Chain A
Amino acid sequence: MSIRVSHLHKRFGSFVAVDDVSLEVPSGALVAFLGPSGSGKSTILRIIAGLENADSGSVFVNEEIANHLHPRARRIGFVFQHYALFRHMTVAQNIAFGLRVQGASRQEQASRVQDLLTLMNLEGLNDRYPAQLSGGQRQRVALARALAPKPKVLLLDEPFGAVDAKTREELRHWLRRLHDEMHVTSIFVTHDQEEAFSVADRVIVIHRGRVEQSGVPTEILDQPATEFVARFIGAANIYTTRAKDGFCQVGALAVAAPGIPDGGLVTLVIRFYDLKFWRDDQGGMATVVRTVSLGDRVTVEAVIDGAVTILSQFPRRSSLLLGIEPGVRIHIEVTTVRIYPQETHSDSSITPRLQAGACDSKPGVDQPQSDAE
């Protein structure tokens, strides 16, 4: 079953949650809506499920308009962020609920419940109540419950947001496997890019109620369509500067900026992994300030002459790390840079805009003020 939405709009009071969103999810695909919290991605999901009414725009399920269908008539399985398990029902009763209200026989219910318990690795938990389960188990019960009535589409709202990192990792692999076995069209919402890229076939980046970019993970990583995507995806150094003679100057570091007119204000986005540092005791253009080990990766923080900080990340055993230690002089090579001309002329100075903490691998995100999710 394919899903298509066209020109969706939704406001909550004065807050615009969804702003003219059109997108398509082909039948059998596993798609991620990726965006910061408050970006409107959950609202889009809820509109598709019929839990929220759009102010305008249409939802098509298999090219049939579904706008006025009650949620129960849409045959869409929904997995809620905080599970939303029926607290007064056992695991088996929770899973059987959809079949029960749709009038399936007791035998049918029992056999489907048993199948799903096996599929979800929940054997023996039939008679437990939700309060007696771990987070990961609850999440799997929620999935089993959504899958029991054999929905045409599965929607998951931040499905792994409320479990610990290790369980999250397991659930991701497991969702991917499950999808490969069942081929039910699935959309999941996440603010975690690693989750989106590791699980989904296609990723749709959503920001301020709009679709910023839609594509397979490598497209989004390698060809960010907008400045927001470039900033949001992957950890990056972000500088605002002016072009001159085809170059942008960040302190002592010159970055080629072909085609940018002189004096044009630009935003430079340089991913941590698009940098190479070479030790250069004779001169160099920057000084290493510190190195931070993050398990399998090492973050190197340096100050470019002209007092601008730059961060890079290398695999722990990388040869690029040889001789890199606090205090040494380095030469910097930028392998890939993305340049976005700015329309607004705010300030002319070179402003380093490192976001989300110096050594965090999380991306820089413009925090929206309101949260509709």
Chain B
Amino acid sequence: MRSRSAPKRLTLAQCVLLAVVVSYVGIVLLIPVGAIVVYALADGVQPLVDALHNTNVLHSLMLSFTLALIALVANGILGVGGALLLARHRFFGRRFLDALVDLPLAVSPVMTGLAFLLLFGRDGWFAPLLNAAGWKVTFAFPGLVIATLFVTFPFTIREVGHTLEELGTTEEEAAMTLGASPFATFWLVTLPNIRYGLGYGILLTTARALGEFGAVLVLGGAISGQTETATTFIYNALEERQDAAAYSMTLILVIASVLLLVGLEWMKRQRKKEV
């Protein structure tokens, strides 16, 4: 238990530092978000209600949430599997693989989109194969899925990986000596122990999936009513000077972000409680 003693008096240097941090956070985070809320609600909630009746808005929202859901499930499974592989096994190439996990963080999403375009595009490497099968990847739903999966890949695997490292292996060893099969050990011991790490990773993944712009723009093309996600909708709406629609959509995303933030904070606390 942390004791809740009275806050200490700060020295002058500490006061200055605090002021710098607070104003930095204010300028970079709070004021922009506040501005969006103010703009979106400047004419009351009516534009927001109107926006929610607009089929394009609804379609792009649905698309974004579908992509987030796919990313969440895929990363949940692959993240746990990958993290277990990296944390619990020693094999040739492990370090390389481990470094590779961070690649999507280092590469600009626009470049990612372009790279996939080179693979799956009209004159891409896999074009003959895709044409033969009659599949369309670029400027279609599969392209959006690929782009989203790529950019969201590191989050779950990293969070689960850190949790596994912290846990160590003794509880798993204990389960084995008590007669548990590898599956029972995973299901009854490992998974419950990593659940908050996994939850945290999944929420980060969702946030990243909802917010992705560059890769889905390049690979999906932001075709209205087809491959237009929530973020690319905002971009298109601004281009077409439909400011009200853009701000309404932004506000919806802001609400989603706040909810995600609350979820992340809760996961973090639960995790702290357990350790």
Q: Which residues of A contact B (CB under 8 A)?
A: 49-51, 70-72, 74-78, 80, 82, 84-88, 97-98, 101-102, 145-146, 148-149
Contact: A87 with B171, CB < 8 Å? Answer: yes
Q: How far is the CA of A97 from the CA of B184 in the complex (A)?
A: 10
Are the CB atoms of B173 and A78 closer together than 8 Å?
yes
The complex places the Cα of A88 from the Cα of B171 at a distance, in Å, of 11
> Once the chains bind, are A88 and B274 in contact (CB under 8 Å)?
yes
Interface string of B149-187 (1 = CB under 8 A from A): 000000000000000000000110111111111001000
- Whether A149 and B176, one on each chain, are in contact in the complex, defined by CB atoms closer than 8 angstroms, is no
B178–A149 CB distance below 8 A: yes
Q: How far is the CA of A42 from the CA of B175 in the complex (A)?
A: 18
A71 touches B173 (CB 8 A): yes
- Note all chain B residues with C-beta closer than 8 A to A98: 178-179
A74 proximity list for chain B (CB < 8 A): 177
C-alpha spacing A86/B170, complex, angstroms:
10
Contact A72 B193, beta carbon cutoff 8 Å: no
- Report 7 cross-chain contacts, Cβ distance below 8 Å, ordered by A residue: A49-B177, A72-B178, A72-B179, A80-B170, A84-B173, A87-B171, A149-B178
Residues on A with C-beta less than 8 A from B181 are: 72, 101
Chain B residues with Cβ under 8 A from A97's Cβ? 175, 178, 180, 188
Digitize B182-222: 1 where CB-to-A-CB distance is under 8 Å, 0 elsewhere: 00100011001100000000000000000000000000000
A85 to B192, CA, bound (A): 13
The CA of A337 and the CA of B188, in the complex, are separated in Å by 57
Q: How far is the CB of B51 from chain A (nearest CB, A)?
A: 44
Q: Within the assembled complex, what's the spacing in Å between the Cα atoms of A72 and B193?
A: 21
Closest to A73 in B: B179
CB distance from A144 to the nearest CB of B (A): 12
B175/A101 in contact, CB under 8 A: yes
CB distance from A21 to the nearest CB of B (A): 21
Complex contacts, B174 vs chain A, CB 8 Å: 78, 80, 84-86, 145
Residue of A nearest to B189 (CB): A86
Q: In the assembled complex, how far is the CB of residue B167 from the closest CB belonging to chain A, in whole angstroms?
A: 9
Determine chain B's interface SS by DSSP, over half rule: helix
Closest to A74 in B: B177
Q: Cα distance A72–B188 when bound, in Å?
A: 15
Q: Is the CB of B177 within 8 A of A72?
A: yes
Interface contact B170-A70, CB-CB below 8 Å: no
**Which one of B170, B177, B193 has the greatest number of beta carbons of chain A within 10 Å?**
B177
B187 closest partner in A (C-beta): A101
A50–B274 Cα distance when bound, in Å, is 29
User: Which residue of the partner chain A has the closest CB to B173?
Assistant: A51
Interface centre among B175, B176, B179 (most CB of A within 10 A): B179
Q: CB within 8 A of B170: which of A49, A84, A101?
A: A84
Q: Across the interface, name the chain A residue whose C-beta is closest to B195.
A: A88
Residues B176 and A71 in contact, CB atoms below 8 Å apart: yes
Question: Which one, B178, B188, B274, contacts A145 given CB within 8 A?
Answer: B178
The interface centre, meaning the residue of B171, B181, B193 with most chain A CB atoms within 10 A of its CB, is: B171
Closest to B193 in A: A88
Q: Beyond A78-B174, A84-B173: 13 further Cβ-contacts under 8 Å?
A: A49-B177, A51-B177, A72-B176, A72-B179, A75-B179, A77-B178, A86-B171, A86-B174, A88-B274, A97-B188, A98-B179, A101-B175, A148-B178
Contacts of A148 in B (CB 8 A): 178
A371 → chain B closest CB, angstroms = 16
- Which 8 residue pairs of A and B lie closest in terms of their CB atoms, listed nearest first? A98-B178, A84-B170, A78-B177, A101-B180, A71-B176, A84-B174, A88-B192, A72-B179
Q: Which residues of B contact A101 (CB under 8 A)?
A: 175, 178-181, 184, 188
A70 to B184, CA, bound (A): 14
Q: CB distance A80 to B193 under 8 Å?
A: no
Assembly CA distance A146 to B274 (angstroms) = 23
Residue ID in chain A nearest B176 by CB atoms: A71
Q: Contact check, B274 vs A87: say whether CB atoms are below 8 A apart.
A: yes
Enumerate chain A residues within 8 angstroms of B180, measured Cβ to Cβ.
72, 97, 101
Q: A145: which B residues are within 8 A, CB to CB?
A: 174, 178
**Assembled-state Cα–Cα distance A148/B181 (Å):** 17
Contact for B177 among A77, A85, A86, CB less than 8 A: A77
Tell me whether A76 and B177 are in contact in the complex, defined as CB-CB below 8 angstroms, given that A87-B193, A88-B193 are known contacts.
yes
A residues in contact with B179, CB < 8 Å = 72, 75, 98, 101-102, 149
A84–B177 CA distance with the chains assembled, in angstroms: 12
User: CB-CB < 8 A to B173: which residues of A?
Assistant: 51, 71, 78, 80, 84
**Interchain nearest-CB distance for A250 vs B (Å):** 48
A97 nearest CB neighbor, chain B only: B178
A82 touches B188 (CB 8 A): no
The residue in chain B whose Cβ has the minimal distance to the Cβ of A78 is B177
Q: Are A82 and B178 in contact (CB under 8 A)?
A: no
